[in-house]
Amino acid sequence: MIISSQRHLFSLPRDICYLNAAFMTPQTIDMIAAGDDGIALRAQPWQVTEGGFFTDVERVRALYAELIDANANDIAMSPAASYGIATAARNIKLEAGQEILVVEDQFPSNIYSWRRMADEQGLEIIEVKRPKTDTWTNAILAEIETRGEKLGLLALPAVHWADGGVIDLVAISKKAKNIGALLVLDLTQSVGAMPFSVKDVDADYVAVAAYKWLFSPYSTGFLYVAPRHQNGVPLEENWINRKGSENFAGLVDYVDEYAAGARRFDVGERANFSLMLQAEQSVKQILSWGVENIAETIKEKNKTIRDIFADVGFRGCYAPEQTAHILGVESDNELSPAFVATLREEGVRLSVRGKALRIAPHVYNDDKDIENLKMALGKALSKS
Ligand SMILES: Cc1ncc(COP(=O)(O)O)c(C=O)c1O
């Protein structure tokens, strides 16, 4: 179902045509208000109850789980994708000489931990090059076929952050399982905007930063840890992850046991009051729009935007049938500084990546935004 414009829920100025959800989504008025309630709590600490440390977090954990078709027990609270990936890396041991597969120009939060691990364990990182005509999926499947059991781990996204190239994780997971390779995902650029089920993909770990497609505050997010890895070692040893930490009077009766499931991997001070209330509001909003509906709605907008750019000589970075919630368009010519500056002056907000533009609309973009984009593009081209 296509979602009609939800602009009324936000406070977006009319002269801004915001097409940069892949950078950071704006929050709704209700999400901001939920955060304000949390901030107000800090003026009166005596109002901070145990709920603020435990039950609020558990509600958010369950909502994150729902987004990816997992159980709340399998979710750890993590402040950044890099934190989740580092947790995964800390718990993976491969054989010297094995390989880790990534894609070209992958986001650094899903690279640096692997580089460290490669140094420490004597591994090699294999980078799949951006395919010229074929899909990312076929390029990755071919690489798995070639490398076979030498490949110990695939560290991938579902959508390329820079230009929206889609990767079919169900197909890749099947093939990875055949050779016994682990699968660690950074789904920051897709959870909330593209349906995903851990039941279909059976990843080992899934890291998500929530300030983009989940409309959540900066420094919130989660790590899915498959049940088979839940006896691992967390990045830090914090008091609240331990069994029985609800009993504040008994905190110095130190225990070796952790709280159940993936909770042992929770970041310290996970119960950041205002952030949790905002995160709850934002994920509830996503679930009420429905991820499938969001995906369909954004795709539709991107088809229109793609046509607008095609009329002025840009082409999509991928074939039209691969258009997802992030649209990359490129031109044969360098983008002149005047072109980029005029788009900005005219209120259009998107990302520039070399000769390509990254466009990421959402449910708040309406027909007037599309009109504004057309006009701005006309002006930008006439000045370049
Ligand atoms: C694919 C991807 N992962 C992660 C992030 C953010 O990483 P972190 O949460 O480690 O700051 C971004 C930000 O642009 C991204 O595009």
Per-residue pLDDT of 297-333, as tens digits, reads 999 999 999 999 999 999 999 999 999 999 999 998 8
Residue 116 Cα distances to 113, 190, 227, 300, angstroms: 5, 26, 25, 41
Query: Mean pLDDT over residues 214-230, rounded?
Result: 98
Q: pLDDT at residue 120 above 90?
A: yes
Report if residue 97 sits inside a domain: yes
pLDDT digits (tens, 9 = 90+) for 248-258: 999 999 999 99
Q: Whose CA is nearest to atom 16 of ligand 1?
A: 161
Q: Whose CA is nearest to atom 11 of ligand 1?
A: 80
Q: pLDDT at residue 115 above 80?
A: yes
How many Å from the N-terminal Cα to the C-terminal Cα in the chain?
39
Domain count, the chain: 2
Q: How confident is the model at residue 111 (pLDDT cuts 50, 70, 90)?
A: very high
Does 100 share its domain with 161? yes
Between CA 112 and CA 130 the distance in angstroms is 20
pLDDT confidence of residue 66? 98
pLDDT confidence of residue 105? 96
User: What is the residue-averaged pLDDT of the chain?
Assistant: 96
Does 86 share its domain with 138? yes
Q: pLDDT at residue 354 above 80?
A: no
Does 57 share its domain with 41? yes
pLDDT confidence of residue 273? 86
285 lines ligand 1 (CB under 6 A): no
Q: Can you give the CATH number for the domain in which 275 is found?
A: 3.40.640.10
The domain in which residue 357 lies consists of 7-22+290-383
186 lines ligand 1 (CB under 6 A): yes
pLDDT confidence of residue 334? 84
Report if residue 1 sits inside a domain: no
167 lines ligand 1 (CB under 6 A): no
Residue finishing a domain among 225, 257, 288: 288
Report if residue 55 sits inside a domain: yes
Between CA 56 and CA 276 the distance in angstroms is 7
Residue finishing a domain among 288, 309, 324: 288
Q: pLDDT at residue 203 above 90?
A: yes
**Which residue is it, tokens 């395919």?**
131
Query: Mean pLDDT over residues 155-175, rounded?
Result: 97
Report if residue 235 sits inside a domain: yes
Does 267 share its domain with 119? yes
Å from CA of 253 to ligand 1 middle? 38
| Of 68, 133, 140, the residue nearest 103 (C-alpha) | 140
Ligand 1 pocket test, pick from 103, 161, 214 with the greatest ligand atom count within 8 Å of Cβ, gives 161
Å from CA of 368 to ligand 1 middle? 30
Between CA 156 and CA 140 the distance in angstroms is 10
Does 277 share its domain with 378? no
Q: pLDDT at residue 51 above 90?
A: no
Between CA 194 and CA 177 the distance in angstroms is 23
Å from CA of 82 to ligand 1 middle? 7
pLDDT confidence of residue 213? 98
Does 295 share its domain with 280? no
Å from CA of 209 to ligand 1 middle? 6
157 lines ligand 1 (CB under 6 A): yes
Query: Mean pLDDT over residues 288-293, rounded?
Result: 98
Angle of helix 273-289 relative to helix 29-41, nearest 10 degrees, comes to 160
Ligand 1 pocket test, pick from 20, 77, 78, 109 with the greatest ligand atom count within 8 Å of Cβ, gives 109
Report if residue 220 sits inside a domain: yes
Q: pLDDT at residue 79 above 80?
A: yes
Q: Can you give the CATH number for the domain in which 347 is found?
A: 3.90.1150.10
Q: How confident is the model at residue 384 (pLDDT cuts 50, 70, 90)?
A: confident
Residue finishing a domain among 264, 288, 312: 288
Phi, psi of 71 (to 5 degrees): -95, 150
209 lines ligand 1 (CB under 6 A): yes
Query: Mean pLDDT over residues 156-167, rounded?
Result: 97
Query: Mean pLDDT over residues 193-200, rounded?
Result: 98
Q: pLDDT at residue 22 above 80?
A: yes
Å from CA of 187 to ligand 1 middle? 9
pLDDT confidence of residue 121? 98
pLDDT confidence of residue 333? 84
